Amino acid sequence: MHIDGEKGYPLFFFSKSRAWVTSTLFGLLIIVLGGALYIWYSHTSNDPTPDSIVGFGYAFAGTTFLILAAVLYTLRRRSRRRGIGQLHTALQWHICFGVVGIVLLFMHSFGNFNPRSGTFALYGMIALVISGFVGRLLDRIIPRLIADEVRKALTAKGEDRIEAISQKLEALVHHSTEEIRGFSTQMPAVQSSTTTNAPPAGERTTRSLVPLRPASSKELPFQAPGQSLHTSWDLAYISLEETPQEMSRNAAQHRFVPDKKSTLTRPGALIPGAQEHMAALENAQRALQREQFYRYVIRYWRIFHVSLALLTIGLTLWHIEYALQLLIPTLLHR
Amino acid sequence: MPKPVLLHKTGPQLVQEVRACIGCNECLYACPALAEPITIDVLNRETMDGPISAPVARFAWSCYQCGACVAPCPVGLHRDAMMMWLKVRLLRSDWEV
């Protein structure tokens, strides 16, 4: 496959979309305004606490931004009225609102990190935003790692590498088996040249059991065709021919079994090239395992992020309920 | 919850998928990674073979295999697998230079 256009796959790249520019500018504006108010109020007021008027303002604004971050993106994802790039825009605003929300809620705390419900809610939100950033980072890194594993699992022509290697291995084993079979069929000729009364290969196993019948003799009248007289009537008769064990020991293929120090005992020596194919097969299988692992990471990180969002909502509701219990009596007694 | 399966496809499978695409753009509407307008026929053509234009390459780099494009496809195609093929083509182009 030849490519004349764009080439390569950078691990980190940055493309500035209009949605990214707009949302970043908006987020920076809100954070700068919130920061300026924080500095001014901390210096001028003698009550820079979370339950001051400005503190409530930060709480209200921060919670609103976090709700917008969660709701707008979810609604856009589920909406049927979509245009190309709209979901990307919604994702950029989701990130922007999430970051602005956490910064405003951090300001709402005014540095009070006592172990109360609000602190737990803040910690939950910080963990949520951090998990979102880590998720974005994983979204950039992991697909490239998956692509690298897929590259290993496919041949240059785009075929399944495991299938291609399996076919090559099968052909190799078939070729070696044919060679061994060819060698076995040549054995009787070798034996007959060295032993004058050697039996044909087909009768090798029963040869010693038919000592009285020469190979060229006719069938006896009481014998069915092809059937031999298995034992001698003379029980004292001892055959001088080779026993099946002796024949097996002297068989040609067994005589070629090398000793332990021989290079032929190395794995794959009798099937050249098989080890390389086996190693390539293992590499491809490992690539598939890694691909699956990376996909698990992407999926479970998203589930982790959503779970943290649900936990943070629970902690925030707990904090609001706790704060209202303190606020309502105060407001009623004024 | 379904287990994440291996989503890469072989060349012949990919050609089948691309040819089965009816060009309804539903996968592109559902994609949170696509930031600039790309037509589905350009994407299909550049996925299979030939030079890859800058917007399609940026889209391939941005795709994070979330699978949002799979569910809306009316003919049940795996656009994420096609995007993975595009990523592999881009990755391999490094070695071809």
**Does residue B20 belong to any structural domain of this protein?**
no
User: b vs e for B18-49, b when ≥16 Cβ sit within 10 Å of the residue's Cβ?
Assistant: beebeeebbbbbbbbbbbbebebeebbebbbe
**Does residue B59 belong to any structural domain of this protein?**
yes
ipTM: 0.88
Per residue in A240-288, pLDDT (tens digit) is 777 776 666 656 555 555 566 666 666 666 666 777 888 888 888 899 8
* β-bridge mates for residue A154, sequence order: A160
Note whether B64 contacts A144, CB cutoff 8 Å. no
Dihedral angle over CA of A304, A305, A306, A308, nearest 10: 80
Nearest to B57 among A6, A156, A295 (CB): A6
Per residue in B33-70, pLDDT (tens digit) is 998 888 899 999 999 888 899 999 999 999 988 888 99
Count: domains in chain B: 1
**Does residue B75 belong to any structural domain of this protein?**
yes
**Does residue B56 belong to any structural domain of this protein?**
yes
**Does residue B79 belong to any structural domain of this protein?**
yes
A241, A211 Cβ separation under 8 angstroms: yes
Query: Rounded to two decimals, what is the model's pTM?
Result: 0.69
Note whether A10 contacts B61, CB cutoff 8 Å. yes
User: Taking CB atoms and an 8 Å cut-off, how many pairs form between chains A and B?
Assistant: 148
Residue A125 belongs to what H/E stretch? helix A117-153
**Does residue B31 belong to any structural domain of this protein?**
yes
Its domain, for residue B66, covers: 26-96
Nearest to B6 among A2, A7, A292 (CB): A292
A312, A125 Cβ separation under 8 angstroms: yes
The structure tokens 């006592």 sit at A114
**Does residue B9 belong to any structural domain of this protein?**
no
Q: What is the DSSP letter of B92?
A: H
Chain B residues within an 8 Å CB radius of A87:
29-32, 34, 68
Nearest to B62 among A1, A15, A157 (CB): A15
Note whether A17 contacts B35, CB cutoff 8 Å. yes
Nearest Cα neighbor of A148 from A325, A10, A256 is A10
**Does residue B63 belong to any structural domain of this protein?**
yes
Nearest Cα neighbor of A128 from A323, A293, A314, A295 is A314
